[in-house]
Structure 1
Amino acid sequence: MKFSELELEDKVLEALDAMRFDECTPIQEQAIPLILQGRDLIAVAQTGTGKTAAYLLPIINKLCKGDHQQEVINCIIMSPTRELAQQIDQQMEGFSYFMPVSSVAVYGGNDGTLFEQQKRGLTLGADVVIATPGRLISHINLGYVDLSHVSYFILDEADRMLDMGFSEDIMQIVKYLPKDRQTIMFSATMPSKIQQLAKTILNNPAEIKLSVSKPAEKIVQAAYVCYERQKLNIVQSLFAEEVPERVIIFVSSKIKVKEVTRALKVMKLNVGEMHSDLEQPQREFIMREFKSGRINILVATDIVARGIDIDDIRLVINFDVPHDSEDYVHRIGRTARANNDGVAITFISEKEQSNFKNIENFLEKEIYKIPVPSHLGEAPEYAPRSNGNRGRSGNFRNKSKGPRTNHSGQK
């Protein structure tokens, strides 16, 4: 379906045309009409399916009609991370280019100028506030935020927000909102805690569920079955002769990010780290260095890495096996973008074998196992214990993905 077939205002279609968005993605085709109708909605969809545009376009469409009060906050969009909040705000600017719809992104950081800018947007009544839960609560507690006119409340990546411990913050924010608002929730999975949250804050919602996609065929997938202590040495052997221009190494925690980064620097590799202990200016500096090629290896966690939106990543290394299939698909989907080829390599320790077998079950294929270099010593055999069909179910802890934009309006 084309965007022009939806009941969108001419100015919204002009913005889409200027951004060269023509065809709807499946989530946009299903969600936009329901949101335009005023229905509460819960949608299960991965990042990369175009979900950001699926809720921004109908909300901007409603706001540009002039039926809402001026100089008040009309819409709140909750985001789990500052990186995603920034990306939503950037897309908001593009879609609302031809319309007098204002927005402000509200997220953490120690920049006093940034805080004052956020305060100004909140007190003057930006139409759309895109916020991380903790920072919005901080502003609310200072007494100058009026949420009594909010017509639209959107939770993006709701499962990730709950995983990060934002449940109480979300419920505290809900207390300040009118009961007759329209509430929209996007989540990559539908565990029981998301179902309970939906029952609490949504009113007779419509439901959309898209199946999890498989990795792109252009991605060459392989794995090393190894001992945990061999992982760093395998990295060193991979980069002994040449380091690809852009490499992301995913690890399981911010503590491990620091450990792996230190070890790679000792190996004289050109590496940067991305984790939640960094201040926002530090994160932005690292991303600029990575995008420019001055840093060619980035070590990161899943949550922080959502803000990475680069088309020419050549190699993804899963230093630790992801917790579930969707995280695996999301991680390796960072490569082979924009018609480029890409390689994804996973290191599988003894304790991680069952988890990786679940991923293979989900992919319905066996990933090729590269022999560990002989000079690194003997490696364990790949003999995972059965864990049922957990890898096929899709009911996992947390999902994600870094969004991107293409000519179909997909993000």
Structure 2
Amino acid sequence: MDIQQPLSLLGGLTPAQFMRRHWQKKPLLVRQAIPQFSPPVQRAELFALAAHEGVESRLVQRVKGAWKLRHGPFSRRALPSLQQPDWTLLVQGVDLHNDAVHALLQQFRFVPDARLDDLMISYASPDGGVGPHFDSYDVFLLQAHGQRRWRIGRQKDLTLRDGLPLKVLENFEPEEEYVLEPGDMLYLPPRYAHDGIAQGECMTYSIGFRAPARAELAQELMARLAEDAADDDNTPLYADAGQPAVPHAAAIPANLQDFARAALTRALAQPQALERALGEYLTEPKASVWFEPGDPGVMLEGVRLDRRTRMMYDAKHVFINGESYLAGGRDATLMRRLADERQLAARDLARASDDALELLSSWCDAGWAHTWSA
């Protein structure tokens, strides 16, 4: 992507300008970010997705002033009537199930893939919403159908109302208000309070981002490093030949503490161990994602990544769907291009080594990628 090219998606800003001026700093309202926008997923298709076991969906209702939350899947009969006001259906990760929605999400790849999460579609009946709240991550709110009135503010008091199934702010203090039409988009940085109310029937597309907590990231990485350490057949066992008899048996020996500390230090000191664990974590598919195996032995003309595939790289590795590969030279350049552009043409494959072609073929067999003719 040319990050110096002005985009209507960003109101005429270049991606470089947007990231410098607004990302994690201040909101941006863009009128007609996508002119004459026609939503790729209609209401009936969204309802059908919400009925599937492998699709994360939620139903939020406010009945007589009380908030209610249910988790899917939902049959059509389980959803309220279209005439009933004040309910919202939220369907997560629609980009994993629809090529056009996946293509829409790709327009936001001026942010690293390591941060880009998914596209959620919110359908709301008149007056539907999820209450004033804040997110811990950046979000783009693209109006797809109908109108939604947004009130936003830099909330200092983040107290939540007790006893609710939703995180609703107790004392919401809006500072600005906008009504979004189809094609309009609002960007909000993390922890910026907002409340969206449907003005009649409406659909909103939310482009969300990953923001792992430090503790979560440490836990995940340490678990992966521990798996690598368990594969080392030469790892020493704790030994204490000089251990004297002790009068206080419950006291943990200092030598054992030193041994444990050395084990962690050794795991982190392995060349590229942390980088490898991070790349595998960032490309791990969500639990609900599954791939359909391709036809083995198909000749590669061009290769295109499956919309569900997550592929990234660093200076020494290529990562795909939770697996890592050392990469260098011409093949590394080729694989990085595949990760960035999500496809390779026949002319690109003509420069690939036999090992690279074999690897690409195995990804096609697994359904992680597909062959195509340019």
Shared topology, TM-score over 0.5? no
| Larger radius of gyration between Structure 1 and Structure 2 | 2
Larger RCO (alpha carbons 8 Å, 6+ apart)? 1
Shorter-chain TM-score bucket reads under 0.3
- Bigger proportion of residues as strand: 2
- Bigger proportion of residues as helix: 1
How does the TM-score come out when normalised to structure 1? 0.25
How does the TM-score come out when normalised to structure 2? 0.26
